[in-house]
Amino acid sequence: MLKMENWSIKALTCSFALLIRWSVSFFDYSGAGKTPMYGDYEAQRHWQEITVNLPVKEWYVNSTNNDLMYWGLDYPPLTAYHSFLCGIVAKYINPDWVALNTSRGYESYQHKLFMRYTVFLADILIYIPAVLWIFNSRKQSSNDSYSFIKCILLTLLYPGLILIDYGHFQYNCISLGFTIMAVASLANCHDVIGSILFCLALNYKQMELYHAIPFFCFLLGSCLRDIKHGGFFRLIKIGFGVIVTFGICWAPFLYSIESTQQVVHRLFPFARGIFEDKVSNVWCALSVVIKWKQVFTRDRILLMCLGSTLIGVLPSSIDLLFRPSFKKFRYSLVNCSMAFFLFSFQVHEKSILIPAISVCLLLPDHPFWCFWFLQISTFSMLPLLIKDGLLIPYISLMIIYGMLYYNFNPGNNVDTRQKSDSTLWIYITERLMFCISTVGVVILTLATVLVPPPERLPDLFPLVISVYSCGHFILFTLYFHYCQFTVNTGISNKQSIKSDHNGKSKLDNTESVKSKIAKSKYVKIKKKKQQ
Amino acid sequence: MIGFWSMAVGISLFKLLLLPSYKSTDFDVHRNWLAITHSLPVRKWYFESTSEWTLDYPPFFAWFECLLSQFAVLFDPEMLKVENVDYRSYATILFQQLSVIVTDLVYVYGVKEFCALFVSKTRKSSEKEDILQSPVIYQGRNMSAAFWFATLLNFKHIYLYIAPAYFVYLLRCYVFQSNEEGRIKWRSFSILRLIGLGIIVIAVFTLSLGPFIILNQIPQLLSRLFPFKRGLCHAYWAPNFWAMYNIVDKGLSVTGTRLKLFSVKNITTATMTGGLVQEFDHSVLPSISPIITLILSTVSMLPSLFILWSQPKGVQSFVRALILCAFGSFMFGWHVHEKAILMIIIPLSLLAIDEKKDAQIFLFMSTIGHYSLFPLLYTQFESPIKICLLVLTTLFNFTSLANVHREAWSYTSLPLLSTIESIYLLGVIPLELYSSIGHYILGLNHTLPFLPLLLTSVYCSIGVIYCWIKFYMLSYSDKPKYGKQH
């Protein structure tokens, strides 16, 4: 009856994750009680108000009843439909919550409860099943059953996502959940389903474009590779799936070119600045030295962003396109989204969640680096979290997460003996760097909370935090690029030629088996020497 | 897998997360006590009645509050003013919460001492629990056990209920010795030890009550500690014998009225679960006076004490007697608070690891007992928390105990339990669904607002009574081997 026990451990993990999630939702949301604009919470409520009361045609259009300057809808249609659904329920419970125009800035205990529940429900229905699915489908390749529980737990308890969704208030779990499901179905070789799921993610939040290039390159690359074994037909199927999904999602807005244009225009507001607040990307970090807005025109900046992002994305995506394998695909998800985050135009600090979720998928292979990345990514949002009054949950979640990691990875110190000298040195340097970086995080957190900034530089700490995290992010990006290019190409090249539709998941298997054999051989040799 | 201390820190951090959550009136109670002990002289402590939450714990607890209040000044001096009734500033909340988290470390220490495999999470309602007594006795340090227990009694007099177990155990196993057959050796009576114990207990009580004896305030103090003016049952009926008694009474009165056996005039209005602490009379069955509850609880404790006296099998029998005493008082006590069920569950958890039979009862009892606390946290924001916590602890208990006792999961029942017991426990799910959702959908929340409470307490009381009987039978039948030869 091992099955049953496994099941109960999974249920334990999930209920623990839910417990932590809900306890964060006791805290304030963004813009609580701050007239006249409030925050993301009010934005979501406002979208419910708009979608419930106005016909579909007017959702994205400025009118007397829909002032786009006041939290106008600027997410793709799927978000609008979701708001519509929530709005109907809200209207049923209490019509005041979504009354047109009069409900602006509505806040109450009951309403907060309702809004928190909508996130909770979305999480339970989409994100958590997605995480269970992806690590379940990879279970065979991992050696022990604990590692898979560990990955589920570390992914579900990632503080950044919990703090933003349940504290700050957003529905990132939906789009990220769809993305994870898409990756999981690609892992199981359901290409069409995977691409449809990814389209859903894309139609929920346009930020998912960060992940679009790896998906595109991987699917195109693997189809082209197998062009003689029905790859072309597969490509057509995928393309058809994508077009149909988009068509259905956008159907109400396709009646005229202007209306479609209007929606697209709402989704990509280039009129805003190069970055908002203080973001841990390259532009913000360099703004310490160069004042972008004074030196260059907006179009110039746009071009620069576009160019640098393209250059950043190229290495990883070209590699994936010509040597597609599922492992490379996972690395590429991180690398491309990081390139977007570091270089693209109008990045929000919350956008780090998108690369972060693809880092979570690498947890089985690089637990240490992923954990480090996830901690830093949460830290990079500290100024935002403090603004929302989420300092206490931030601190407790960070410590809980760290402790979880260390309790689940006792092996970190054990197998140092088995490693050769050079790997041992790498190991020690990695740990040392991590310790120094953690001390930095602690000091900066304390300084931000306790030390009042000098009067001339009110943004000192947020800026230092973003430069500090940006440095880390560049390091992580380089590391994961290195991983992508060194992932055992010899085997994957041979395998990839043979591997057709069903080959990919086997690939992971054979790799791990081979490394296992190599390991056991190594141990045997060592034992003999000792004797 | 998970280190003990990181578990402790993790749980403390989790409690920190609950900072903005719902505070029961106990929060105001403790704030008021802080204020009383801080700003008034000792002689006024038990006379102060500005707030309705008067000081009704023994002196040591008052001193403890006094100690806490020394730190409270640093957070917010306003909270220490007696006039500030229902004062809830952010600093006050933070301080109170931290005080619970820190004093909980005492509990954690107790658990650590016991080398427990798991931490049973007490539900938070800003309640300071000191459950220090059990582990000490396990170390065989009987003298210090007496000291700690006497101290504990002066912290929270509710532990008076389990005092008989302590008394009998110490008398039997410390003052007297056993021979090889487990029989008592009357000659081994040691007057020195008896005097030693007596001195310790009296010393502790003198220290605690002494100042009030000098001030001649003992009657006032006692009237505060034992308020028999309150009703038989708490606003929400604790799942005990009286819950059943009430429901039978209610059923009889309703059927009686329907059948016109007696006139409507005699029936007191149905406000037994009316929310306020108040007295009421039963309509058909005889009303209960405090004396009856006292007699019944004593009678229900006697057999367990007798078992302990006749066949003490080390600490295990002691803990069993302790639990049975707690059970007895919970079953028949006057104005029992539903939180008192923790006094049963926590010692039970100590036994669950050793013996399979105890584990069975523990699993059943902890699930139903924790569920019976649900109505305490009635606010909507807390519902997911309490459900998740219950699922978490229950699943963890089942999984780990099934592992410890090598019991497999099967499709017909939960591990370690019979099918009927499993069905009963799973029956909690529809009950909770009904009381949290179904009741409102049916629109009965205006006509019968207290029906869910009533259902919960009756449903749980069936389980608790069942556990009680089963545990009594277990304690009786599970005699030590040498006892059976005679």
- Where exactly are the structural domains of chain B? 4-124
* Residues from chain B contacting residue A407 (CB–CB below 8 Å): 1-3, 6
Please say if the pLDDT value at position B287 is more than 80: no
Question: For the residues A42-63, what does the mean pLDDT come to?
Answer: 89
Nearest to A46 by CA among A76, A78, A90, A92: A90
**For position A512, what pLDDT does the model report?**
46
pLDDT in tens, A69-83: 888 888 899 999 999
Per-residue pLDDT band at A395 (split at 50, 70, 90) = very high
CA distance linking residue A234 with residue B333, whole number of Å = 74
What's the Cα-to-Cα distance from A74 to each of A258, A275, B145, B300, rounded to whole Å?
A: 16, 17, 67, 69
**Does A260 share its domain with A271?**
yes
Nearest chain A CA: its distance from B393 CA (Å): 9
Q: Please indicate whether, in this complex, the C-beta atoms of B384 and A120 are within 8 angstroms of each other.
A: yes
Nearest to A402 by CA among B420, B174, B13: B13
Pick B398 or B38 by higher pLDDT: B398
Asked whether the bond before A462 is cis by omega within 30 degrees of 0, the reply is: no
Q: A449 with A465: CB under 8 angstroms?
A: no
* Residues from chain B contacting residue A22 (CB–CB below 8 Å): 384-385, 388
Q: DSSP H helical segments within A25-167, as ranges?
A: 40-53, 77-93, 109-122, 128-137, 145-156, 159-162
Please say if the pLDDT value at position B174 is more than 80: no
Pick A243 or B257 by higher pLDDT: A243
CA distance linking residue B457 with residue B375, whole number of Å = 9
Q: A319 with A484: CB under 8 angstroms?
A: yes
Q: Which of the residue ranges A490-504, B123-137, B170-184 would you say has the lowest mean pLDDT? A: B123-137
Instruction: For chains A and B, count residue pairs whose Cβ atoms are closer than 8 Å.
Output: 88
Nearest chain B CA: its distance from A121 CA (Å): 11
Per-residue pLDDT band at A65 (split at 50, 70, 90) = confident
Question: For the residues A185-195, what does the mean pLDDT come to?
Answer: 90
Question: For the residues A452-471, what does the mean pLDDT come to?
Answer: 87
Distance, C-alpha B27 to centroid of its chain: 18
Q: Please indicate whether, in this complex, the C-beta atoms of A26 and B391 are within 8 angstroms of each other.
A: no
And the tokens for B44? 């006024």
- Give the total number of structural domains in chain A: 2
Interface contact B429, partner A, CB < 8 A: no
**For position B107, what pLDDT does the model report?**
61
Closest CB from A5, A22, A408 relative to B384: A22
CA distance linking residue A281 with residue A473, whole number of Å = 8
Interface contact B90, partner A, CB < 8 A: no
* Residues from chain B contacting residue A114 (CB–CB below 8 Å): none
Per-residue pLDDT band at A121 (split at 50, 70, 90) = very high
Closest CB from B2, B388, B395 relative to A22: B388
- Of A133-137, A184-188, B33-37, B477-481, give the range with the top mean pLDDT: A184-188
Which helix (H) or strand (E) covers residue B185, if one does?
strand B184-185
Please say if the pLDDT value at position A468 is more than 50: yes
Residue of A nearest to B410 (CA): A1
**For position B146, what pLDDT does the model report?**
47
Residue of B nearest to A409 (CA): B1
Nearest to B328 by CA among B352, B364, B362, B294: B294
**For position B97, what pLDDT does the model report?**
65
CA distance linking residue B319 with residue B308, whole number of Å = 10
**Does A449 share its domain with A512?**
no
Closest CB from A18, A399, A407 relative to B384: A18
Q: Please indicate whether, in this complex, the C-beta atoms of A23 and B14 are within 8 angstroms of each other.
A: yes
**For position A217, what pLDDT does the model report?**
92
Domain of residue A59 covers: 22-487
**For position A314, what pLDDT does the model report?**
92
**Does A171 share its domain with A301?**
yes
Concatenate the DSSP letters of all residues of A236-256 into one string.
HHHHHHHHHHHHHHHGGG-SS
- Count of Cβ atoms closer than 10 Å to residue A296 Cβ: 15
**Does A483 share its domain with A505?**
no
For chain B, what percent of residues have pLDDT higher than 90?
0
Q: B334 with B294: CB under 8 angstroms?
A: yes
For chain A, what percent of residues have pLDDT higher than 90?
37
Q: Please indicate whether, in this complex, the C-beta atoms of A5 and B10 are within 8 angstroms of each other.
A: no
Question: For the residues B221-237, what does the mean pLDDT come to?
Answer: 67
**For position B62, what pLDDT does the model report?**
75
For chain A, what percent of residues have pLDDT higher than 70?
85
pLDDT in tens, A288-329: 788 877 777 777 888 888 899 999 999 999 999 998 888 899
Closest CB from A26, A397, A399 relative to B20: A26
A5 assigned to some structural domain: no
Q: Please indicate whether, in this complex, the C-beta atoms of A26 and B17 are within 8 angstroms of each other.
A: yes
Q: Please indicate whether, in this complex, the C-beta atoms of A392 and B19 are within 8 angstroms of each other.
A: yes
**For position A529, what pLDDT does the model report?**
45
Per-residue pLDDT band at B473 (split at 50, 70, 90) = confident
Per-residue pLDDT band at A378 (split at 50, 70, 90) = very high
Residues in contact with A326: Cβ distance below 8 Å, sequence separation at least 6, in sequence order: A186, A187, A218, A504, A505, A507, A508
Q: Which of the residue ranges A163-167, A209-213, A273-277 would you say has the lowest mean pLDDT? A: A273-277
Q: How many CA atoms lie less than 13 Å away from B220 in the CB half-sphere?
A: 15
**For position B18, what pLDDT does the model report?**
73
Question: For the residues B300-307, what does the mean pLDDT come to?
Answer: 77
- Of A140-144, A521-525, B84-88, B421-425, give the range with the top mean pLDDT: B421-425
**For position A292, what pLDDT does the model report?**
75
**For position A142, what pLDDT does the model report?**
45
**For position B14, what pLDDT does the model report?**
77
**Does A303 share its domain with A342?**
yes
Question: For the residues B155-168, what does the mean pLDDT come to?
Answer: 66
Per-residue pLDDT band at A492 (split at 50, 70, 90) = very low
ipTM: 0.75
Question: For the residues B357-365, what does the mean pLDDT come to?
Answer: 84
Residue of A nearest to B402 (CA): A5
Q: What is the mean pLDDT of chain A?
A: 83
CA distance linking residue A527 with residue B1, whole number of Å = 28
- Of A247-256, B197-206, B322-331, give the range with the top mean pLDDT: A247-256
**For position A272, what pLDDT does the model report?**
62
Question: For the residues A111-120, what does the mean pLDDT come to?
Answer: 92
Question: For the residues B124-136, what does the mean pLDDT come to?
Answer: 33
Please say if the pLDDT value at position B373 is more than 90: no
Please say if the pLDDT value at position A158 is more than 90: yes
CA distance linking residue A26 with residue B382, whole number of Å = 9
Q: Which of the residue ranges A32-36, A223-227, B17-21 would you say has the lowest mean pLDDT? A: B17-21
CA distance linking residue B397 with residue B368, whole number of Å = 13
Interface contact B13, partner A, CB < 8 A: yes
Q: A5 with B409: CB under 8 angstroms?
A: yes
Q: Give the three-state DSSP class for A412.
A: helix
Closest CB from A15, A396, A406 relative to B392: A15
**Does A407 share its domain with A496?**
no
Per-residue pLDDT band at A212 (split at 50, 70, 90) = very high
CA distance linking residue B46 with residue A455, whole number of Å = 53
Nearest chain A CA: its distance from B401 CA (Å): 12
Instruction: Pick from B395, B396, B397, B401 the residue to mutate for testing the A interface (most A CBs within 10 Å).
Output: B395
Rounded to the nearest 5°, which phi and psi values hold at B45? -55, -50
**Does A282 share its domain with A323?**
yes
Please say if the pLDDT value at position B180 is more than 60: no
- Of A169-183, A226-240, B442-456, give the range with the top mean pLDDT: A169-183
Longest Cα pair distance anywhere in chain A, in angstroms?
Answer: 86
DSSP character for B119? -
**Does A460 share its domain with A522?**
no
Q: Torsion-angle region of residue B355: left (phi > 0), alpha (psi -120 to 50) or beta?
A: beta
CA distance linking residue A475 with residue A45, whole number of Å = 39
Q: Please indicate whether, in this complex, the C-beta atoms of A406 and B20 are within 8 angstroms of each other.
A: no
Closest CB from B13, B408, B410 relative to A400: B13
Interface contact B6, partner A, CB < 8 A: yes
Please say if the pLDDT value at position B121 is more than 70: no
CA angle A120, A126, A131 (to 5 degrees): 105
Please say if the pLDDT value at position A23 is more than 70: yes
Nearest to A390 by CA among A445, A465, A457: A445
CA distance linking residue A400 with residue B10, whole number of Å = 6
SS3 labels along A263-284: HHHHHCCCCCCCECCCCCCHHH
Interface contact B263, partner A, CB < 8 A: no
pLDDT in tens, B426-464: 888 888 888 888 887 787 777 777 778 888 888 888 888
CA distance linking residue B74 with residue A79, whole number of Å = 48
**Does A392 share its domain with A467?**
yes
Q: A277 with A349: CB under 8 angstroms?
A: yes
Nearest to B287 by CA among B253, B321, B236: B253
Q: A400 with B10: CB under 8 angstroms?
A: yes
Question: For the residues A152-159, what does the mean pLDDT come to?
Answer: 91
**For position A310, what pLDDT does the model report?**
92
Q: What is the mean pLDDT of chain B?
A: 69
A509 assigned to some structural domain: yes
**Does A309 share its domain with A325?**
yes
* Residues from chain B contacting residue A392 (CB–CB below 8 Å): 16-17, 19
A1 assigned to some structural domain: no
Question: For the residues B296-324, what does the mean pLDDT come to?
Answer: 75
Out of A453, A471, A487, pick the residue that ends a domain. Answer: A487
Per-residue pLDDT band at A275 (split at 50, 70, 90) = low
Nearest chain B CA: its distance from A394 CA (Å): 9
Closest CB from B1, B17, B409 relative to A24: B17
A7 assigned to some structural domain: no
Question: For the residues A123-149, what does the mean pLDDT come to?
Answer: 76
**Does A366 share its domain with A514?**
no
**For position B52, what pLDDT does the model report?**
66
Question: For the residues A339-368, what does the mean pLDDT come to?
Answer: 88
Nearest chain B CA: its distance from A111 CA (Å): 11
Pick B471 or A358 by higher pLDDT: A358
**For position B230, what pLDDT does the model report?**
62
**For position B106, what pLDDT does the model report?**
65
End-to-end, the C-alpha distance of chain B in Å comes to: 47
Q: B89 with B97: CB under 8 angstroms?
A: no
**Does A265 share its domain with A303?**
yes
CA distance linking residue A320 with residue A322, whole number of Å = 6
Q: Which of the residue ranges B117-126, B245-254, B273-282, B335-344 would you say has the lowest mean pLDDT? A: B117-126
